[in-house]
Chain A
């Protein structure tokens, strides 16, 4: 992690996710688990205790069949840039916002497993290791050498594929590029998305796709009213999808439902 430095041109990595292009195939979830050495589920794990740094939720418009319509919304750490809730509550300073990239980083070595951050995260994007990480015999050979597996008892979450960012920095250095400039790279989920619904880039670069998408009238951020400065911009032409991102109180509508 790099401290504040006026000589560094800071990046602000972010994403745009086109909900209307997401088929809910789960390729992003699988690619993320493979890239970041997230273990397969413990037999006792459920959708509440599993580990998925990115999770695709199925939402619907709440209308009765056959008027019901569904959409898939991938939810990952939103890399909040404003009063980041998980950073504030961590007693161990295990969570920090990298000023050079804007990425909210989690340091499992410092984590005590108190799960304050899990409770504080309004997006349910943090996951606790309830079990020792285990791979079937022989499958450890397929682990990514750039990422250390985490132990039981710590919280983990999306870090925009820090290993890939690091590799891109090394490549930039090898190519003789200045260390103070942001690097271009693609996280595993964006690379694997078959429909290219997930796009990644530097929000500080006005030409990048997320920066362009952020200005689009059909773009929205999850729970925008919380003003967390999320760096994940969603997009949909459908009004009911955009509305559901504001999470009206269930009692107010009695319609929305989530699966996945």
Chain B
């Protein structure tokens, strides 16, 4: 048989068509996808020995117990400790991704430590008559706070400053004792206290939430009272009048101010009177609102006096806590701000007027430049959770004193500073063993119970040796005090109301969405950017028709303007926000802008 050129072409063509009809090319396509799976750009997770480490989350004052799943000692996932008697195995979304914080792109790792120290020493030496050094501690009650107070006692007229608070120090809340909780905007089920404790206690109390925009807590509340912004105190006064059985003169005015019906206010007062103790909370802890607790049987039952976590006797000559308002204007020459752990935010405008006019030295200890670092002369980097070792004071909803450590699960970078040791160094005192000294002081009292996380066991503190007590705390444990032998009726501090001035000529009332935004993992983009489930710091929520009136649309850029400044935002439309209200996330930038003004206008860019 003779093969021709035509046969060759036919064979080649037939082979090509046959190959196309066979699985081979399709398999090749699949395999191409397989190869691309191992592109250099796709990271390969490290493998190794799986283990567990225990700590307490220090990202907010709740201090929930944490179990970290580790690979070769590196945490790869965090979860709660289910048997924990107070946090009940619950972590919030921020806490679930806390192990990412050391790798946050905004993280500071180096800072001018020597220059800051020299400038601080010089400022201390230059302090004239009526001038002082001060420390602003955003989370008072820690061992580091005691170090600041001990250091400040070495200097004349020095001031230890903490954010003003009525609840959370020696006065605590016992949610389990409350039959009704009336909350004026306090996010009871979304970050106000310890999330696990609030959820565990939830079935035991009826929740009435009074606030303008239906928050996460309001969604789960038994009753949501949609009140007009700024009318909280009027509502509290009307309820107080009804509870005292005084004349109902304020009722009509309150109904008019709040937008509620008179019957709704009367019904709330009736429920509070019939279900004692009824706990009243306020997101801003305004005295007039918290004073309702005196009429609802809360004091001594749902609001209790908490014993202080023991400290060594030698520490007790420390400087007292002072509120910023009590410090004379233009009197602080050296200000050291510890924002290494998040806490309540004090607007910079309130701080700035306390600084001397000529060349004050402000040193911020921070993990990023996002907070006070924008205003400070020096920003010194600190360890972040879970790198640093720090204690966490008891949360606002813990009726018993507590002591627990946030342990270092990963090593901190070489350039970070321990703020307490920095300040102690300036004052010439030692603070390196302060945590151990306090642990020994607690163990010495023999009070309370030590709960260890790895084995979920409790032991009486008096049965644990101080060395073992300290070792257990470092491996994940919590000391809880015994209930006090007698009930002391707490006194609620009376504070001057600092409501921002309302400029009525601006069309929108400003309402804050969340508590002061925590530092968070980049993975929180799932809730802030990839779903808009939570309002991001660069967003503002408006009612669709209000947005239409302003000429803005969903996703477009706009400027929020107040009498004191302006802020660029992206617009989010939300029918749950009433007309005439703009809702913003409570971040440092928004809190500063709206500290002096509660109204704004929205301008399309």
Contact = CB atoms under 8 A, between A and B. Distances in A.
Interface stretch (B68-76, B365-373, B468-476): B68-76
With a 10 A CB-CB cut-off, give which of B29, B527, B577 has the most chain A CB atoms: B527
Interface stretch (A66-74, A97-105, A204-212, A222-230): A66-74
Nearest to A23: B216
Given A27-B91, A109-B37, A135-B43, A69 B533 contact: no
A21 B189 CA distance: 11
Contacts of B42: 132-133, 149-151
Interface in A162-199: 188, 191-192, 194-195
B226 A66 contact: yes
A141 B36 contact: no
A138 interface: yes
Given A65-B226, A110-B30, A29 B46 contact: no
B74 A141 contact: yes
Given A136-B103, A142-B103, A68 B214 contact: yes
Contact of A70 (B74, B196, B214): B214
A135 B100 CA distance: 10
Interface in B33-54: 33-34, 36-37, 39, 41-48, 50
Contacts of B100: 139, 142
B274 interface: no
A51 B530 contact: yes
A108 interface: yes
B43 A260 contact: no
Interface in B517-559: 521-527, 529-534, 543, 555
Contact of A68 (B29, B75, B576): B576
A12 to B, nearest CB: 26
A104 B380 CA distance: 50
A194 B78 CA distance: 14
B102 interface: yes
Given A192-B91, A192-B96, A140 B45 contact: yes
Contacts of B434: none
A150 B33 CA distance: 11
Contact of B220 (A23, A46, A154): A23
A194 B39 CA distance: 37
A144 B576 contact: no
Nearest to B581: A65
A34 interface: yes
Contacts of B522: 40, 135-136, 139
Given A56-B533, A72-B219, A145-B71, A92 B578 contact: no
A143 interface: yes
Given A60-B575, A143-B46, A50 B526 contact: yes
Nearest to A93: B30
B46 A30 contact: no
B460 to A, nearest CB: 31
A218 interface: no
Contacts of A33: 97, 523, 526
Contacts of A259: 532, 572-574
Interface residues of B, number: 71
Nearest to A139: B103
Interface string A32-55: 011101101100011100111001
Contacts of B568: none
B93 interface: yes
Contact of B93 (A30, A112, A132, A154): A30
Contacts of B104: 136
B595 interface: no
B79 A30 contact: no
Contacts of A27: 91-93, 96
A25 B103 contact: no
Interface in B429-466: none
Given A24-B216, A47-B531, A70-B214, A191 B79 contact: yes
Nearest to A140: B43
A24 to B, nearest CB: 5
B591 to A, nearest CB: 22
A26 B533 contact: yes
A26 B33 CA distance: 33
* Most chain B C-beta atoms within 10 Å of own C-beta, residue among A29, A72, A135, A154: A29
A41 B527 CA distance: 10
Interface in A100-148: 108-112, 132-148
Contacts of A110: 30, 33
Contact of A50 (B76, B217, B525, B543): B525
B397 to A, nearest CB: 15
Nearest to A141: B74
Contacts of B41: 132-134, 151
Given A41-B526, A50-B530, 5 more contacts: A41-B525, A69-B224, A137-B103, A142-B99, A259-B572
Interface of A: 20-21, 23-27, 29-31, 33-35, 37-38, 40-41, 45-47, 50-52, 55-56, 58, 60, 62, 65-66, 68-72, 92, 108-112, 132-151, 153-154, 188, 191-192, 194-195, 257, 259-260
Interface of B: 29-30, 33-34, 36-37, 39, 41-48, 50, 71, 74-79, 90-93, 96-97, 99-100, 102-105, 189-190, 195-196, 199, 214, 216-217, 219-220, 224, 226, 259, 521-527, 529-534, 543, 555, 572-579
Which 5 pairs, one residue from A and one from B, show the smallest C-beta to C-beta distance? A50-B530, A41-B525, A26-B527, A66-B226, A143-B45
28 contacts: A23-B189, A25-B190, A26-B524, A26-B527, A27-B92, A30-B521, A31-B93, A33-B97, A41-B530, A52-B526, A55-B531, A66-B578, A68-B214, A70-B214, A70-B576, A111-B33, A133-B42, A133-B43, A138-B102, A139-B103, A139-B522, A140-B45, A142-B99, A143-B43, A144-B77, A145-B48, A149-B45, A191-B79
